[in-house]
Amino acid sequence: MVKKKVQVWLPLIFAIMMALGMIIGYKLRQNTSGGDSFLHNNNTTPLEEAINLIKNKYVDNVNMDSLEEPAINGLLDHLDPHSVFIPAQDLDAMNEDLQGNFQGIGIEFQMIHDTVNVMNVIPDGPSFKAGVQTGDKIITVNDKVNLTGNNISADDVRKQLRGPDGSDVMIAVLRGTSVKKIKITRGIIPLYSLDAAYMLNNTTGYIKLNKFAETTYQEFMQAMEKLQKQNMQQLVLDLRDNGGGIMQEAVEIADEFLDEDKLIVYTQGEHSKRTDYHCSKDGVFEKGKLIVLVDETSASASEILAGALQDWDRATIIGRRTFGKGLVQQQFNLSDKSAIRLTVARYYTPLGRNIQKPYDKGREQYEEELVNRFHDGELVAGDTSKPKGKAFKTPGGHLVYGGGGITPDIFVPFDTTTQPKPVIDLFAKGTIRNFIYNYYIEHEDQLQQYKTPEQFHQQFHFGENEWSALQNFAVKDSVQIKDINSSAKNFVIQQMENLLARQIWRSEGFYELSNADDPMIKKALTVLQ
């Protein structure tokens, strides 16, 4: 009997409870109209709730993009210095550098006296094929966009000249005294990772890498093939000023120097399980003598490569303590086409070294750490006397250290020679660069007699006539170099010749000349001998 009564009344009880709930909910909504009840959503975070509150309730109309970017940066500021937000308008440029290419017309240009001057034309590129020449001055694009005047910036020029692969652009150039219209079909323009690859002497090769992008390993292998055909027996690998890039590219290059299945690097994070990267193939240079050059701006992937070779006693590291970046970033694209590069793991050298320098005192002090190295005299006195972090022993019995960069095996001090202000102004104002460009245009026919940078280095030298011409040219930029001392004068003349070699042969020409007097190169050759 009781069971039957419950069965009769249970549906009625549920109906009454539902009705009461609806009435109470309606009353609560009336009493809290305009309040914060809409915030209470278990699927949102307080940050999202705050943004929604501003968007829906703030007294004035607000551009939410102007709030969201600082909010994201504020969050990342509380993490490590290498977790960064990349706005949508900057993402393509950031990705291009790692992709190793962009879409455009294939020239190097410079704004000189409010005019776009073509400094170099990339061989076999779109502009080269269309007939653009070094020395041309671009004055209009597509017959309507004027590229001359004080208000034109380099970014303005890039926006007009770049475009999708296969698209056309019409430029008008001033060549001498005549105007020529040239139609260019845009293409894929390489951004090379490799600045130079040549023989320092009969048996010693030299390779300079400026970053680790998607094309770096391929460029490196092509350079190795070229140098080995020239009887290379030993190699100097220059990683100075190389801020890193894609870790896998550094791993692939390390594999070419290390044998068997040696561990190259491993990564691990709170939400990333340990991942080991081993040698997986026979390398092209597992036995020859190897020198790696590093300095305080060698970072990340550069340190992975140098650290692996040092841990296995495969290379002699020469230079100064590296930057100290032992964190791995992964890029996450956001809905508005912006992105976050978030640190997801730490990397460790084969011996277990994490060479990340401390960042617990904030980003400002982290960024000033390099400056402090100058002030503390470390870059001059030698950082081998200041090992950082825990000591590790290599298979050959050498001590190496973690916790603040890769400490080189052989220290070469930073050149502290100071130049007088007029010399600094020559470079800061672009005066010397523009002078060399004009000199090249005026003497292009005579300079064609030099077939290689080596021949140029041996036979060409600036004299007093060129020095006088530079003095007169510099006056136009309010730079007076007439009274500088002989040491400063010799320095300027040497840089003029280096820059002229770059104008003729691009970066490889520059390094062939500048390396001839480079203290680290000299030390490397001494060690190899």
Q: Note the residue count of the chain.
A: 529
Hey, what domains does the chain have and what are their CATH numbers?
Answer: 102-190 (2.30.42.10), 194-329+343-416 (3.90.226.10), 421-527 (no CATH)
Please give the pLDDT value at position 36: 47
If pLDDT is split at 50, 70 and 90, which confidence band does 138 have? very high
Q: How far is Cα 333 from Cα 258, in angstroms, rounded to an integer?
A: 35
- Residues whose CB falls within 8 Å of the CB of residue 300, separated by 6 or more in sequence, listed in order: 212, 243, 244, 245, 247, 323, 325
* Neighbour-count burial of 405, counting CB atoms closer than 10 A to its CB (0-12 exposed, 13-18 middle, 19+ buried): buried
Please give the pLDDT value at position 387: 60
Q: Which residues are catalytic?
A: 300, 311, 325
Q: How far is Cα 342 from Cα 81, in angstroms, rounded to an integer?
A: 10
Better-predicted residue by pLDDT, 254 or 78: 254
Q: 65 in helix, strand or coil?
A: helix
Mean pLDDT of 390-397: 92
Q: What is the pLDDT of residues 419-444, one digit of tens each?
A: 899 999 999 999 999 999 999 999 99
Q: Tokens 């005299």 — which residue? A: 377
Please give the pLDDT value at position 28: 41
Cα dihedral 498, 503, 505, 507 sign: positive
Decide: 121 and 107 in contact? Cβ < 8 Å: yes
Q: Which residues, in sequence order, are bridge partners of residue 184?
A: 169
Task: State which amino acid sits at residue 44.
Answer: T
DSSP 8-state code for residue 212: B
Mean pLDDT score across all residues of the chain: 88
Decide: 357 and 282 in contact? Cβ < 8 Å: no
Supply the pTM of this predicted model.
0.86
Beta-carbon-side half-sphere exposure of residue 239 (alpha carbons within 13 Å): 39
Q: How many CB atoms lie within 10 A of CB 402?
A: 24
Q: How far is Cα 239 from Cα 36, in angstroms, rounded to an integer?
A: 57
Please give the pLDDT value at position 62: 81
Cα end-to-end span (Å), the chain: 108
Q: What is the pLDDT of residues 2-38, one digit of tens each?
A: 444 444 444 444 444 444 444 444 444 444 444 444 4
Q: What is the pLDDT of residues 248-304, one digit of tens each?
A: 999 999 999 999 999 999 999 999 999 999 999 999 999 999 999 999 999 999 999
Query: How large a percentage of the chain has pLDDT more than 90?
Result: 67
Q: How far is Cα 127 from Cα 189, in angstroms, rounded to an integer?
A: 11
Q: Tokens 């093939």 — which residue? A: 225
> How many H helices and E strands in the chain?
17, 21
Q: Which residues, in sequence order, are bridge partners of residue 169?
A: 184
Instruction: Write out the two tokens for 497.
Output: 């010749």
If pLDDT is split at 50, 70 and 90, which confidence band does 384 have? very low
Q: How far is Cα 11 from Cα 520, in angstroms, rounded to an integer?
A: 90
Q: How far is Cα 155 from Cα 414, in angstroms, rounded to an integer?
A: 34
Mean pLDDT of 335-356: 92
Residue 53 in this model has a pLDDT that exceeds 90: no
